[in-house]
Amino acid sequence: MRRLLAIITATGLIGTQDATASDDVLIAVASNFVPTATELVERFNETTDYRATLSSGSTGKLYAQIVNGAPYDVFLSADASRPALLEQQGQAVPDSRFTYAVGALLLWARNVDGGGDTCIDAFLDDRSSRISIANPKIAPYGAAAQEYLQQAGLWEDAVDRLIIGENISQTLQFVSAGGASFGFIAAAQAPFISPNACLWEVPTTLYAPIRQQAVLLSRSRDSEAANAFMSFLRGDGQAIVVDRGYTSETISE
């Protein structure tokens, strides 16, 4: 069995191996899911004769790369709309699409002690500090943050104070570095910040469900490695997904 030694580079590529052989699979993965996907790939590589590698970025950018011919085999999106578009465009295998994880949105109040209501109270009382969200145009977690702010009647007040990250990972970096006092991050990112961080779970009734969908791309319809990874993700891999802070619709089916 072969094990992937994964590293994240500036280009978003994880791993340096050539993923063009018949027993290899190249996976395009949304930024928020990279830590979990890395663990999934390591387990997949340990337990099969195949080798998977990852390339990460915002969902919107990965979608654009796929449309323009990027040689990915599997797309792990942070939303449901772009995998569906790829199906409609004939660039994804029909009926291969499924929800592999359901994400949740957190408010991180960087300079606030306490938790829960303390965080949202500080956010509502502060009308001057910077707020970081992912780009709503290309990042589903950014779209969820914008939707929450609009539903709560806070968007007009917040819009001039926003620091926009290209993806949810950059949003986390902006708050970590002190560029913003508040940030809307993915719940699965919580383990990567201080255990004493002030976090508030944004009510899921105030934004559309963040259903992250996977799809097998048409170029890899007959790839044993790609199909094996999709089966693994839908099956045994779901335990890892849940352990990393996501909800699984597949397990509950």
Q: Mind listing the pLDDT tens digit for each residue in 15-31?
A: 434 444 578 999 999 99
Instruction: Report which of 92, 42, 50 is spatially closest to residue 67, judged by C-alpha positions.
Output: 92
- Which backbone phi and psi does 175 adopt, to 5 degrees? -70, -40
How far apart (Å, rounded) are the C-alpha atoms in residues 21 and 93?
Answer: 20
E strand segments, 104-237: 105-109, 131-134, 162-165, 182-186, 198-201, 210-216
Averaged pLDDT for residues 133-158? 96
CA 72 to chain centre: 17
- Give the chain's domains with CATH numbers: 13-102+210-252 (3.40.190.10), 105-201 (3.40.190.10)
User: How far is residue 138 from each of residues 63, 79, 154, 164, measured CA to CA in Å?
Assistant: 9, 10, 21, 11
Is the pTM higher than 0.75? The answer reads yes
How far apart (Å, rounded) are the C-alpha atoms in residues 61 and 127?
Answer: 32
pLDDT of residue 21: 52
Q: Mind listing the pLDDT tens digit for each residue in 55-89?
A: 999 999 999 999 999 999 999 999 999 999 999 99
